[in-house]
Structure 1
């Protein structure tokens, strides 16, 4: 799946540098896929691709739709939209949603989604919309999805981390009640929790590493008897709480109830290499890759 996402990166770079000998096609042809269509944003950049798998196999998808991450200034602006929870009102989201809906209408729901970094946020946003509007659940693979929040996971002391997370959860619950803010209703949460995407993060990646703490803390809160507070805090963000009422809907893309979380514990002593390794797409097909996997299902939280 990561190689198909890399194919989108390669196509955009082929286009940007006007390469005569395209370097992108081996990334999908090596796995038996054919390029069905490129997804183009309004600035003419290639943001995604629809791949088709021509063979008929029960366990294989008919199509995989992959989205790349940040490459240019426009992408950086979209990253900022994630922080203020309005990404679902961007052209990137609209283009991706339209493409996914069209392929489903024409070819059926045997479609998988995949994305890296910003592209993972695109996949989450599209998947949520399909669930809400069509009750359609697509298998989804998210590589280094952004989790915009205070980075607590880097703290070495487990006790300190638990205390900070507990205080933040309690603060969220109190502010939500006092300010009259509404978190996700139980029915919507129940519907969304049936979607269990595959989430891949690196323990050293500042952009996505907080997913590990997000899911693990929810279970710890339940074990401490604070399950209700943990559930409230996991369905609303501080940005939503402090935002003034504007009449516009807010959707924190990073908040997902369930996931199959895989953590790459690989580290590097060089800060520059560390970021390239921890947030890069290439780590996910590296030789000798060792992942720590755990499934988190919201329905398991009573």
Structure 2
């Protein structure tokens, strides 16, 4: 077996230890299973590319080990790659009559919709890298993957008779951004899905990694906020004279959605979430609530593109989140860090409004 195949084989690389001690009330177990569901999507696509079928397929144990069945794969119409999967729980203790909020529901999810990240393999790399560029310029929301994924999630909500407390969204890297955009869109319809975002990209200059001086970092963020708020106010006055609200503002609804962000300070792709939330916290503590609201709604790029008539949505900007930080000495962007036995994490909840 090759080293690559070993990483794709559940009993060699996955959280096999959980199959005997699984406790849905345990936050680390829920995190590990959400990550495994996303890993399953990666392996589904690898199975497709390597024509591994039947007993040779490596993907099924990544969900079957936790009593899920695969009910649908989501395929990108551009390159025919599998970028998402929908799983249904078929195991014991499947009580889904709770009316509590999704963040307090300790039952297994009835459905998990998972999205993989970039897969640098011959039959998927080109389209994945194109979408990575869309993340950077805040235009992923116009992609076919968002259209397909959003419809799939809506179908599951409808299938579940409108209930959403037992439906999870999960994604890694590029897949985190897909989950984030879909989660935000569902919020517009008052549907707050329990969402697990592993190493979500923060599409901006990685200030946290390239600048060590805390005073300089604070100064850069202050200057950026002042410019962003000023431009937003000016453009809003031109486009909607007399109004202090942006058209179709979903900000109040978005405040009630609190996704789980799993981040690593050593990972430049997601490390700027630390500075983003810490700076929001400082602005609010200092009384600059209105500027903080503008910064949370917009990015500098999205404001400028709106001014020239282009649609741009800064999906990474969130007013609320459960941020879970990997405290282990790990520089990886990979998923396996999130199910490592004995993983030490720091948890902080940000909910500003």
Alignment TM-score, normalising by the size of structure 1:
0.90
Aligned equivalent of 2:85: 49
Q: Residue 163 of structure 1: which of 219, 225, 229 is its match?
A: 219
What are the superposed Cα offsets for residues 29-59 of structure 1, whole Å, 9 maximum, x if unpaired?
Answer: 1111111111111121111110000242342
Aligned equivalent of 2:14: none
Q: Residue 140 of structure 1: which of 183, 195, 200 is its match?
A: 195
Aligned equivalent of 2:152: 99
| Residue 241 of structure 1: how far off its partner (Å) | 2.3
Q: Residue 351 of structure 2: which of 286, 297, 300 is its match?
A: 297
RMSD: 1.9
| Residue 185 of structure 1: how far off its partner (Å) | 6.6
Aligned equivalent of 1:172: 228
- Greater gyration radius: 2
Q: Residue 254 of structure 2: which of 176, 192, 202 is its match?
A: 192
- Change in CA separation of 1:192 and 1:207 when aligned onto 2, cut-off 3 Å: same
Please state if 1:11 is matched with 2:64: no
Q: Please state whether the residue corresponding to 2:90 is helix, strand or coil.
A: coil
| 2: CA distance, partners of 1:296 / 1:166 | 20
| 1: CA distance, partners of 2:250 / 2:315 | 15
- Change in CA separation of 1:79 and 1:292 when aligned onto 2, cut-off 3 Å: same
Gapped runs of 5+ residues in structure 1?
Answer: 269-273
| Residue 142 of structure 1: how far off its partner (Å) | 0.4
| Residue 252 of structure 1: how far off its partner (Å) | 1.3
**Number of aligned residue pairs:** 290
Aligned equivalent of 1:153: 208
Aligned equivalent of 1:271: none
| Residue 187 of structure 1: how far off its partner (Å) | 5.8
What are the superposed Cα offsets for residues 221-276 of structure 1, whole Å, 9 maximum, x if unpaired?
Answer: 122232322221121101112226454432111112110001113335xxxxx3xx
| 1: CA distance, partners of 2:222 / 2:308 | 30
| 2: CA distance, partners of 1:19 / 1:57 | 35
| 2: CA distance, partners of 1:177 / 1:138 | 32
Aligned equivalent of 2:101: none
Alignment TM-score, normalising by the size of structure 2:
0.77
What are the superposed Cα offsets for residues 138-170 of structure 1, whole Å, 9 maximum, x if unpaired?
Answer: 110000111101111123232222222112111
| Residue 135 of structure 1: how far off its partner (Å) | 1.4
Contact 1:144–1:201 (CA under 8 A) maintained in structure 2: yes
| 1: CA distance, partners of 2:235 / 2:139 | 21
Please state if 1:28 is matched with 2:90: no
Aligned equivalent of 1:286: 340
| 2: CA distance, partners of 1:187 / 1:40 | 31
| 2: CA distance, partners of 1:19 / 1:4 | 19
Q: Please state whether the residue corresponding to 1:234 is helix, strand or coil.
A: helix
Contact 1:117–1:146 (CA under 8 A) maintained in structure 2: yes
Q: Please state whether the residue corresponding to 2:257 is helix, strand or coil.
A: coil
| Residue 179 of structure 1: how far off its partner (Å) | 3.9
Contact 1:151–1:206 (CA under 8 A) maintained in structure 2: yes
What are the superposed Cα offsets for residues 41-96 of structure 1, whole Å, 9 maximum, x if unpaired?
Answer: 11211111100002423422110000000111101111111222221111010010
Gapped runs of 5+ residues in structure 2?
Answer: 1-33, 97-106, 120-124, 240-244
| 1: CA distance, partners of 2:293 / 2:58 | 46
| 2: CA distance, partners of 1:122 / 1:30 | 25
Q: Please state whether the residue corresponding to 1:153 is helix, strand or coil.
A: helix
Which range moves more in the overlay, 249-258 or 45-54?
Answer: 249-258
